[in-house]
Amino acid sequence: MSSELMDALRQLAREKNIDEYEMLDKLEQTLATTYKKTLDLENDARVTIDRENGRIQVFELVPVGGTEEEPLFEDNDITPSDISRFAAQAAKQVITSAIREAEREQIFDEYADRIGDSITGTVQQSDSRYTLIKVREGVEALLPPAEQPQNERYDHNQRIKALIIDVRKSSANEPSIVVSRTHPNLIKRLFELEVPEIYDGVVEIKSVAREPGLRSKIAVSSREPGLDPVGACVGPKGSRVRMVVAELRGERIDVVPWSDTPSTFVGNALSPAKVTTVITNDAEHTATVIVPDDQLSLAIGKEGQNARLAAKLTGWRIDIKSMSQAMESGLAHAIAAGEQIVDEGDGRCIAETSNGIRCRNKSLPGSLYCRIHDKEAGASA
């Protein structure tokens, strides 16, 4: 191999950020394998490449003794006269492989710290096995079926956004980046792109509950007094939330105000239903929600979807009752109070005497009242 070819290899290694010595080591190994097969050698071959002038020598490793653990070999020089032709072919193979490996390493290094970020790309291929997304020239991402909403189908060259969920050191024909269209955090990233207040940290998305492709709920709060976090996310005439809904192919999104008061948060989470009363039990992490009779189906939602998402959003187990059901269950006092009542979970009756002192009796199973006040609540109903 000529010194000119060595110079060209060094130049290419610098341009592609490839380790020059590692590339030459691989070239020596490739040539050794090639010559053993081509020359039909009985023993292994060894190839050396002079790092200065590019001179190549081929040796057959002839055993001359030693032990099984540490055999001894004699180098028998068998360098063929047409070595340059073989060297050029092997060099092309090694260089191509080294470039691809270097590119995979660069992609891994660039994206390994970006797990949880969103990316935009164009669909290159989509079938039942996977969807391949081109992020940019030479960079592809894999969208597995498990990370695709069931109702989504992708067309060639269609632009989509997705969330990076994994970056791995892949084989030659496999993308390093794995993305998702179902992850709850994708909604967070999409709102960051559309809502400057979220990007700047003034408005915070506190929690997300999602049934991909169908419906989601997000709870938001503001760090700036007087700023309406829900209005900031919805945007003028719904413009901001519409952009997110469009990216998610029509997935419905409810934006509700977050609260550190569980009863208030649970009530907000059931939006758009109107809530009359929320009774929470901290010990059991449950909430009984009372709604007007005409709001019951809306509060529960189609196939329980609204209630299910509200429970995911708040982390509370929620039992929804209509006003009529609540009256029959002995919750008349809670309804009459017209406010959100929090059961501290101590099992005591929640009734209060005329001077404001709470009853000391234990509540009946399935009721918030003791035997005496349960009867009174039923009578008043």
Question: Please, what is the average pLDDT of the chain?
Answer: 85
pLDDT surpasses 80 at 354: no
| Whole-angstrom distance, CA of residue 95 vs CA of residue 18 | 9
Give residue 348's pLDDT band: very low, low, confident or very high (50, 70, 90). Answer: low
Joined tokens for residue 218: 């997000």
pTM metric for this prediction: 0.70
Taking the alpha carbons of 271, 277, 280, 286 in that order, is the dihedral positive or negative? negative
Domains of the chain by start residue, with CATH: 3-110 (3.30.1480.10), 115-182 (2.40.50.140), 183-258 (3.30.300.20), 262-381 (3.30.300.20)
280 φ/ψ angles, rounded to the nearest 5 degrees:
-110, 145
Return the pLDDT at 155.
92
Which candidate, 16, 14, 25, places its Cα nearest to that of 48? 25
The reported pLDDT for the residue numbered 291 is 92
Beta-ladder partners of 8: none
Q: What is the pLDDT of residues 44-90, one digit of tens each?
A: 999 898 888 888 888 999 988 888 888 898 999 988 877 666 666 77
> What percent of the chain stands above pLDDT 70?
84
- Residue 211 above 90 pLDDT? yes
Give pLDDT, residue 231.
Answer: 94
Q: Is the pLDDT confidence value at 279 over 70?
A: yes
Sheet architecture: strand order including 341-343? 317-322, 286-291, 277-281, 341-343
Average the pLDDT over 8-12 and give the result.
Answer: 79
Provide the pLDDT for residue 369.
65
Cβ atoms 307, 300 nearer than 8 A: yes
Q: What's the average model confidence in pLDDT over 188-205?
A: 96
DSSP state at residue 102: H
